[in-house]
Structure 1
């Protein structure tokens, strides 16, 4: 299918591990080469337009202009922004390719290869008994969708959105699904920060960040836990660099010693580039995978023993502390140390830095949420903040590092199976309609229903649910069991060609954010809402998601009390959101005022918490079972590379970790030596759910018996074990065993 398809090191125990500095000249060169590939004129037009960045949830752009954030800092851009543009600025895939090649040919492509075939330029259709996609007209596509939906009972359907879609499209999607008759409505947060939302709602009454971007300029200590922003949120590193330069401290807690979190050469800082980077981590702590609660309990115990708690705050503004203290006192240091793999002295070092801090921010990523105890992990981070009154004032608070650029907004406007009661009531009252009251299914539950032949129709707006889901072979069968699937996308991905053998599918081409026909809005991880102008034209036959959804609604629900045609005007959608979603009132006028804003009631800069009694809660947890008992000898975590964004892969190599192959395993040099193999040897990695055969071994600084593999390739090993409260799969804690395929003699230690 031909028409489709240098780093410093230090020796450790006779093996080598990367000592790379993050960022630097190589990232500047990479960015320039990407710009050159997509064209200077195209990239400049995209990057300087008044549209929100399409990459991570940190946010920039909008009405302040491209490469500018809400603090008017310029240039606020990174290679992720360039990478996101690179796939949008592609010519359309020739339709002859679909006539020539069956699904099997496309299935042989890597994620990177299929994303880079080009933009989808016209609707394509695959019949149930065919192994080819073919071009169809927009009218035929809409007619087929309407016919499939009309014959499908609503409870045998589900709807899904990625975090790159707009607030406007998301609001229409959830209204379409609910007026159709189902609450089976999900977004990608069930696979990332749902645990955060559940936990923070339990502890402080609000499920999002309590701080603004400006608050990062006022903290003197930042905990960075279970996250690698050097790869995934590069512009966040600028804030950590600034913190270090003003004398502050960064405590990194991560099983893997990520080079970009040790030192990072910030591209827009000449000094940082010239002197080999800026030191980021003041203290780097590497607990065993899954031992978070044990480590957090140790920090809390040390703070209490140092008498460094903020007693007045605890007594006046929290509840549950007495039970929390009793549990801490009953937990022995030996148990904490044995479980976490961190010495009492190291934990004391963490506590000393925290005890001396005036303003601390706790930031975390999916290394915290992707466990069967993800909610407990986040609740315990909140406990640590409450111990010293670090929630409720400027420059201090809680910050989940979210991935997609609008994943938080998609949740805010109701793309979820259970609406908050005030939102539910507001929609019914505002539109004079009755919404379905049956409990909706979460993302994994929808796939489980599909696997059991209980789902006949699915509409997926963006994303790559196939690749993002655990238990890959099981997911493939579940997707194929859905009789009719509709995908809205800018480019093809593996989810459009796998799980398709015996089912019917339509893939519809949509406008990218900067191509929208009307302005759209997005919400950052800091609860900041931006307005994106759209307006760039690249392809002739793509349509906005909101236009597609409203046409589907009109055909499927011709007698609906809702006039969906009115929602083809985005101002009307924003007025509806403003009248039904608390805190979004300013959205009604943003199209004319151009005034971007923080959602009201989200930032917590005083001690009045959004709970029934206005108090925050300590929540007590014991050290958990799966932190102690491992049925197989190794624990694997899945990770993203520097050259990818979520399931989208831009580069096969990972320049920060010094790997040249994504079909690989990273492990401690001592573990490599114990196995009697060397770097680049091949092994098989097996879990209870699948096997990765002939994967290449690379050394990396990890705790003994902990290993890493790349997401989504390693999802073949990940099971459907999930947090019972957030329903998020445990992508970051998978028990595995290793079989040596290519045994090599150990190197001499002499």
Structure 2
């Protein structure tokens, strides 16, 4: 493991030479051959492969280098020349591997063949593919379907996701948990309630037509750097960008384009945020209420003076319900309360509102900084309230823009991965495949682990996820995972979930999306949906890491066939051999979205799913867009920080990370070197507690459920963060997050707002 080094503030803009050095470093680290580095030239191209990391939109007219630092790292990580062979498992027991750092587990290289856990030797041993399928099938046949959970990460293709949801429902369950449950389920619920669709209403074209953009809780420089290119273009034509974010992040401040000779050879850069407001963690609803209050007050003043309206009265009257109740709530909310909860001044909020009033078309981008809160759904509803005041939904250059993380997390929901039966076309599936789907609600991710802790789950099929590391309350959930009767893990690399085996455990190594997928009918392609609702084809371009790897569709088909046997009307072998057969069935199930799927999937820029709200058609129960007054300004009225000296912790990712995958221990943008066991803290908060930079502390969760939650050995780093707030890395701080601390209505874990106390190491008792 790398030695900890002193943290230093990052003095440069995002992108630039720092980005190029980071890409060169990981290509060398993963021993990617120089000739293979040309793979990057096929990334996010219409005839190439879609990035395996973020889901940001793919342009019809791509740049020569249509990848960002994060995407290049993900590609190098998958195309590494390092291999985990059977010799690796002969040399290392599972108990030993459990002591390894997460980074070192994945850094060992690509898995090369199917494995079964042998409890007697505490090692994974080789197994044939057919033996694995048959044993898994027998185990599932002997298990109550209601006690089996099928989980998908967002890397699964549309084809794989469709096959898996059909298999699960034919098997007899709607327990189709997925990574969206962990991040943007608040969006799916909130946007659907407000405007009738649960996804973004903007496309890349809207960047060229907008006058103003807001960012809430989305660190574009780390999480979706390719988005910086259209942001740079927008800034160059004078579009303002107003950011609300607790931490000052380089990626939201300035950007040097690695593809611009001027910006690479001179100090030139593009200023991203024209206003930057550091609100308190959990202060988003209060800030948005303040913005709405300023806009409504300005409209009241114009009415009183006979001037043109500030509000879009025609839009509100024709297209919305609930405005009067919402406006009454906003008028009655006091600025003192807004300032206290948001941590922002009335003057600063009104300055941002003034820019909004002057703009004709406005986009609000947001990420998990809004959704991973107890009131996450309310935050999303407030974004819609704000946009609707001036008709900024359903017109060019305007709308809500939830920025998804995983590459196909949105698409898998589109083709049926959902635990909610009312969101799946069950009647159509029943007719199409001659079976009766289950109609009872299944378990989402949090519910699955709640049941697991109670020993009410027997088996988990884990497609691409590292669930043991990614879910909250690790001290409760990890032991529960080890008590499972069956765990099946489909993955490209080793991770901690594989090392907490149940009674019977398999690791089934799959092809990466970057690799050529050869089946009986020839080379195959897959498809996925990006954050803006566009569908794209993706074709692998490099040789597989091992001849014994199988594709995700192959693995799903093999297990489905072995489990369902004569109960299934699907020719799983035919689907395995030719994915166009799967796409043909997807088109039958979802004709409005996927008609002519095969011919349209290679459309440059993708083909767009129908979005009624974009045309001001509202698929809500009332037939109109819905205003909603918030229930509270507070982030969490049920778990308020009342203890003296209490702090509010948010978890975040580094620039060398994709979800639970850790590419390196440095975080260049935040100046962290050689470790992830750090806490970012306001200097005044440190001084008030007589704490010093570099001191090691323990965090303890403030909760009253009788469970001790603590993480020790965290090094203090002074950072530009509001008083009363802390930031630490995910997943290292996951043990502090109670499983029950999730967003109301969506059950997204409240990882951005955890009440904690801080204990200096020299004050801790010695056992």
Q: Partner residue of 2:710?
A: 691
Matches within 5 A, 1:156-305: 156-273=147-264, 274-305=266-297
Residue matched to 1:736? 756
TM-score of the two chains, using structure 2 as the length reference: 0.91
Match of 2:42 in 1: 48
SS in 2 for 1:514: coil
Residue of structure 2 equivalent to 1:615: 624
Structure 2 vs 1, CA of residues 250 and 208 (structure 1 numbering), >3 Å: closer, same or farther?
A: same
The equivalent of 2:399 in structure 1 is 397
Matches within 5 A, 1:674-685: 674-685=688-699
| 1:717/1:231 CA distance change after superposition, 3 Å | same
Residue among 640, 652, 659 paired with 2:653: 640
How far has the Cα of 1:241 moved from its partner?
A: 1.8
Match of 2:74 in 1: 84
Alpha-carbon distance in 1 for matches of 2:670, 2:180:
27
Of 147-156 and 707-716, more deviation after overlay is shown by: 147-156
Label 1:532 to 1:592 Cα distance change in 2 as closer, same or farther (>3 A).
Answer: closer
Does residue 655 (structure 1) correspond to residue 668 (structure 2)? The answer is yes
8 A Cα contact 1:71 1:214, kept in partner = no
Q: In terms of mean alpha carbon deviation, does 21-30 or 34-43 score higher?
A: 34-43
**CA distance change for structure 1 residues 599 and 724 in 2, over 3 Å: closer, same or farther?**
same
| Partner Cα distance (2:633, 2:759) in 1 | 29
Inter-partner Cα distance in structure 1 for 2:680 and 2:6: 17
SS at match of 1:133: strand
Tell whether 2:23 aligns with 1:28: no
CA drift of 1:268 comes to 1.6
Partners of 2:642 and 2:103 in 1: CA distance:
35
In the alignment, structure 1 segments of 5+ residues that lack a partner are 10-15, 61-68, 744-750
Q: 1:8-19 alignment to 2 at 5 Å?
A: 18-19=10-11
What CA distance in whole angstroms lies between the structure 2 residues aligned with 1:421 and 1:714?
Answer: 33
- Describe the SS at the equivalent of 1:290: coil
Shift of 1:154: 0.9
Map 1:342-491 → 2, pairs under 5 A: 342-420=344-422, 423-491=425-493
* TM-score normalized by the length of structure 1: 0.93
> Secondary structure at the residue paired with 2:20?
helix
Provide the rounded CA distance (Å) in 1 between the counterparts of 2:38 and 2:210.
34
The range that moved more, 417-426 or 186-195, is 417-426
Q: Tell me the equivalent position of 1:66.
A: none
* Cα distance, 1:8 vs structure 2: 13
The answer to whether the Cα contact below 8 Å between 1:20 and 1:260 also exists between their aligned partners in 2 is no
Q: SS of 1:289's equivalent?
A: coil
- 1:291-335 Cα deviation digits (max 9, x unpaired): 211111111000001112111111111111011011111111111
Tell me if the contact between 1:18 and 1:700 (Cα under 8 Å) persists in the aligned partners: no
Which SS does the other structure have where 1:202 is aligned? helix
Conserved? CA contact 1:250–1:283, under 8 Å: yes
CA distance, structure 1, for counterparts of residue 410 and residue 505 of structure 2: 28
Question: Shift in Å at residue 645 of structure 1?
Answer: 0.8
Give the equivalent residue in structure 2 for 1:748. Answer: none
- 1:423-459 CA-partner distances (Å, limit 9, x unpaired): 2222112222211112111111111111111111111
Contact 2:459/2:484 (<8 A) preserved: yes
Say whether the 8 Å CA contact 1:289–1:637 is kept in structure 2.
yes
Distance 1:496 1:72, change over 3 A: same
Superposed CA deviations along residues 478-516 of structure 1, whole A, max 9, x for unmatched, are: 21121110010111111111x32x532100010111223
Instruction: List alignment gaps of at least 5 residues for structure 2.
Output: 300-309, 519-523
CA contact 2:41–2:64 (8 Å) conserved in 1: no
SS of equivalent residue, structure 1 residue 314: helix
The superposition leaves residues 593-613 of structure 1 with CA deviations (integer Å, 9 ceiling, x where unpaired) of 767643332274432223355
1:727 correspondence with 2:742: no
Q: In 2, distance between residues paired with 1:509 and 1:493? A: 12
Runs of 4+ aligned residues of structure 1 deviating over 6 Å after TM superposition are 4-9
Partner residue in 2 for 1:121: 112
Which residue number in structure 1 is paired with residue 305 of structure 2?
Answer: none
Distance 1:311 1:74, change over 3 A: farther
